[in-house]
Structure 1
Amino acid sequence: MKKGISIIVTCTLLAMMAAGCGSNTNTKSTAASAEAEKLTEIKTKLDKEFTDYYGPDKFSGYVYISKKGNVLLDKGYGKADYEKGTENTKQTNYDIGSITKQITAFGIMQLQEKKLLDVNDKVDKYLPAFPHGNEITIHQLLCHTSGLPEYSTEFDIRKFRPSYKNFGIEGKDEKVNFLFSSGKGFQYSNPGYVLLGYIIEKVSGETLDVYLKKNIFDPLDMKNTSFRDETGHLSNLATGYETENKEKIETSWTLENIGFVYGSGGLCSTVEDMLKWEKALTEQKLISKESYEKIYTPNENNYGYGWYIFKDSAGKISYEHYGTGVGFRTYFLRAVDEDIKVIIITNYLNAPLEDMASLTKDYLK
């Protein structure tokens, strides 16, 4: 009799457990279904924004958006070349402008790990002819606190490149106007990152393009990321336009008149390669954890080394940056705590990229 009661009780408990498990499974299934439906709705709305709201008069390029492993948009819009009818694809090359800065900063950190430089070193240790180079540090160049202006036509920065014929001799009398004392403010400075590129060349003994290829692009299999060649040519490079009139932005790109910006801008890449770069950053490849922490430490104006760093009210961190090239614009967002990746690249110089970025972030909240 007792044995019979035991069997009945056991069966009852098993039935209750099965019912409970079924209830949990149903709840999880319902939640997963609702989440999938929500993601599908977001995908449709995002695509509609880039297809209809902005449309071919406002936007041409490529968009990649993902959240928590779910790809919400991975699509080209408009044309890479309107005369030839070439599509914008994941393998199309675009001028990524100031996205170059984060890669230059990465190179600096690699050299520091090899003890070939220190970010606290003064600039004149490597570029001896640069005026007031004994007053500013590599760190200040990296986080835009050196006092150098955003742009400058007052001095010929090419004289400070190690390959310059009179390197270390000419340039001492160049007029370099600083906006404030080093370390006493913030001013986004392209010349500052040009100098960082020169420092990489001086320390490594290689041109910047060779150094980046050997130490970053090849190890990460970024086969389609590089600078243009000496004539400004690059295979599969999209054509840069203004916007609605599809007017090409013509430029006489040569190493002589444009190539000196290396370090600050000028790199070209594909969305495919930029995703490889993002993956390497997420997995913290090629440099140490300590170097990554330095890169992501916000200084004045929330700027680290090649990234703007933001923390929202909930304490969630994101890294982002814009880039502008000759007829191109780029937006790159890594919201690491929410596992969000956004890459928007356009071959329209006047595309409303800030609006697009803001709208995209609103959808992803």
Structure 2
Amino acid sequence: MKKQRLVFKILIGILVLVFCSRMAVLIFWQHGNQRNSAASSRPDDFVRQTASLYNIHKNGAALSHQTVSKAIDHSHTTTTLKAKKIAPKESSLTQKIDITRTTINRYLHRVNFTGTAVVVSHGQTVLARGYGYRNVALRLPNMPSTEYYVASITKSVTAVAFMQMREHGLISFNDRVSQFYPNFPNGRSISMLDLLCHVSGLRGIPETIRFVTRDEQVQRIADGNLRLSYRPGTQWSYEDDNYTLVAAILDRISLRTYGKTLHQYIQQNIFNKANMTQAGFGEMSQSPYRSIGYAGVSEQIPSLTQLLGCGDVYMSAWDLYLFDHALADGTLLSAPSYQSIFKRHFSVTAYSLGWYPDREGWGKHTYSSHGVLGGWNGSNAFSMDRQNFVVLLSNSSSASGIYAQANQMIFNVLSK
């Protein structure tokens, strides 16, 4: 009996042990499922949040590195991220620019403008657009990248080169022509400032298609001015030869000082500094962006060697804006030099160093210049507060009569 009871107890013990083991396994399995379920929910949450971040970024909201890191670190929490809305002021500015652009564009279409217009206001590009064709025969349209001869607008570039050399003590306003060309008639009476403001008394000489060297052109000017038409500083007479003489002198100084021609000096110290990649000198026949000038009558432009410093530059309208901007923001000149460019130096004229300050009929409180060379013509202007810039370059002589009215209209629109 004792032996039977012992066997029975052993069997009961085995049964209890099996039961307990099974219960332990069941409890452990259930607990494991709960942990796995909790763990599996986190990747799903993270995927959803990551997708939300991607969609917001794709829709235009700017997300910082810290924002994304925070979302990853706190992936177990629910975060609602919304795309950044345009502030009322930004929306109003965008709307104003659109209205201004439409107004200017319609006006230029109405006057049949052919060329490129660039208008920038308070750092915002209002308009950068081509009108008509740069090559009618090939049906190539004008674009912001189209290149034009800027004619007398070249004078403002020459004046900046002069002021830069003046800052380095290489030349002054009071230096006389005779210091550089001793045999030039009345050279002791003519100062650099006289030339830069067109009050020298020089007469203009006819321009021809003949190639000339720098000093040959200076001699041509000298031969045509054995006597001055008036005493320097007493009258104003706009003549290209004033700037040709300035450019010839700057060329000599640059070669002597830097071993570079004036053109090379301007390329390095003006065009490159202003990031002007579509500006050059002389013939632009090799440029893929060149324009053809269409004059009302058959007209052959003079040799560009006779337009040194006064009309031998070509560039795109956008590059001309870059020149203006670099002049206005101090990239090219110091503040005192900038002020000297636009200062009234003579009572007989407000014209100064390539610019007309506050020219009547061209928009209030502006600096402006313009140029004509065959079929190419254009205007360049910016406001005295340096916030508004208007560049209009054309390859059709039909546009030559619109610039004053166009500038006045555009500056009026920009000032509203």
TM-score of the superposed pair, with normalisation by structure 1: 0.77
1:237 matched residue in structure 2: 290
After superposition, residues 83-102 of structure 1 pair within 5 angstroms as 83-102=137-156
1:223-266 superposed Cα distances (whole Å, 9 cap, x missing partner)? 2211124xx634121000025xxx7x55366xxx4312110112
Deviations 1:72-91 (A, max 9, x none): 22111001111111111111
> What per-residue deviation string (whole Å, max 9, x for no partner) do you get for residues 180-219 of structure 1?
2101122222110010110111111243322211222223
Query: 1:108-164: CA deviations, max 9, x gaps?
Result: 111112222212111111122221111110011111111224x32399x998934x4
CA contact (8 A) 1:310 1:319 kept: yes
Determine whether 1:228 maps to 2:282: yes
- The answer to whether structure 1 residue 140 and structure 2 residue 194 are counterparts is yes
> CA separation in 1, counterparts of 2:365 and 2:226?
36
- Which residue pairs with 1:105 in the alignment? 159
Name the structure 1 match of 2:332.
Answer: 286
Deviations 1:305-333 (A, max 9, x none): 11111299xxx842111111231111111
Contact 1:331 1:345 in 2 (8 A): yes
Contact map agreement 1:220 1:277 (CA 8 A) in 2: yes
Asked if 2 retains the 8 angstrom alpha-carbon contact of 1:93 and 1:238, the reply is yes
Aligned to 2:321: 275
Equivalent residue in structure 1 for 2:105, among 47, 58, 73:
47
Output the CA distance in 2 between the equivalents of 1:343 and 1:50.
Answer: 13
Q: Is the alpha carbon distance of 1:310 and 1:174 closer, same or farther for their aligned partners in structure 2, counting shifts above 3 Å?
A: closer
The structure with higher relative contact order (CA 8 Å, sep 6+) is: 1
Alpha-carbon deviations, 1:7-50, whole Å to 9, x = none? Answer: xxxxxxxxxxxxxxxxxxxxxx7676555544432221211111
Q: Structure 2 residue aligned with 1:265, among 311, 320, 330?
A: 311
Report what 2:229 is aligned to.
Answer: 179
The answer on whether the counterparts of 1:102 and 1:306 sit within 8 Å (CA) in structure 2 is yes
Deviations 1:255-281 (A, max 9, x none): xx4312110112000122122212211
Q: Structure 1 pair 175/45, CA: closer, same or farther in 2 (3 Å)? A: closer
Partner of 1:326: 374
Question: Alpha-carbon deviation of 1:338?
Answer: 6.2
Provide the rounded CA distance (Å) in 2 between the counterparts of 1:226 and 1:353.
Answer: 24
Distance 1:242 1:172, change over 3 A: closer
Alpha-carbon separation, structure 2, partners of 1:178 and 1:126: 19
SS at match of 2:120: strand
Match of 2:122 in 1: 68
Identify the residue that residue 42 of structure 2 maps to in structure 1.
none
Instruction: Tell me if the contact between 1:331 and 1:343 (Cα under 8 Å) persists in the aligned partners.
Output: yes
Distance across 1 between alignment mates of 2:388 and 2:225: 44
Structure 1 residues 220, 338: closer, same or farther in 2, change over 3 A?
Answer: closer
Q: Which letter maps to 2:200?
A: S
The residue matched to 1:62 in structure 2 has which SS?
A: strand
Q: Secondary structure in 1 aligned to 2:205?
A: coil
Identify the residue that residue 358 of structure 2 maps to in structure 1. Answer: 310
Greater shift in the superposed pair: 81-90 or 355-364: 355-364
Q: 1:337 aligns to what SS in structure 2?
A: coil
The answer as to whether partners of 2:280 and 2:315 remain within 8 angstroms in 1 is yes
Q: Who wins on radius of gyration, i.e. which is larger?
A: 2
Amino acid at match of 2:102: T
Matched, 1:190 2:235: no
Specify the alignment match of 2:405 in structure 1. 355
| d(CA) in 2 for partners of 1:345, 1:267 | 13
Separation in structure 2 between the aligned mates of residue 96 and residue 180 of structure 1, nearest angstrom: 30
Give the direction of change, closer, same or farther, for the CA distance of 1:40–1:286 in structure 2 (3 Å limit).
Answer: closer
Which of 335, 343, 346 is the equivalent residue of 1:297? 343
Distance in 2 separating the partners of 1:228 and 1:173 = 25
Q: Distance in 2 between matches of 1:191 and 1:293?
A: 25
Residue identity matched to 2:236: F
CA RMSD of aligned residues (A): 3.0
CA contact (8 A) 2:190 2:200 kept: yes
CA distance, structure 2, for counterparts of residue 129 and residue 137 of structure 1:
15
Judging by fraction of residues, say which structure has more helix.
2
Amino acid at match of 2:392: I
TM-score, structure 2 as length reference: 0.69
Whether contact under 8 Å (1:130, 1:160) holds in the other structure is no
Aligned to 2:5: none
**Inter-partner Cα distance in structure 2 for 1:108 and 1:146:** 17
Whole-angstrom CA distance in 2 between matches of 1:338 and 1:110:
20
Structure 2 CA distance, aligned partners of 1:186 and 1:125? Answer: 23
Amino acid aligned to 2:250: I
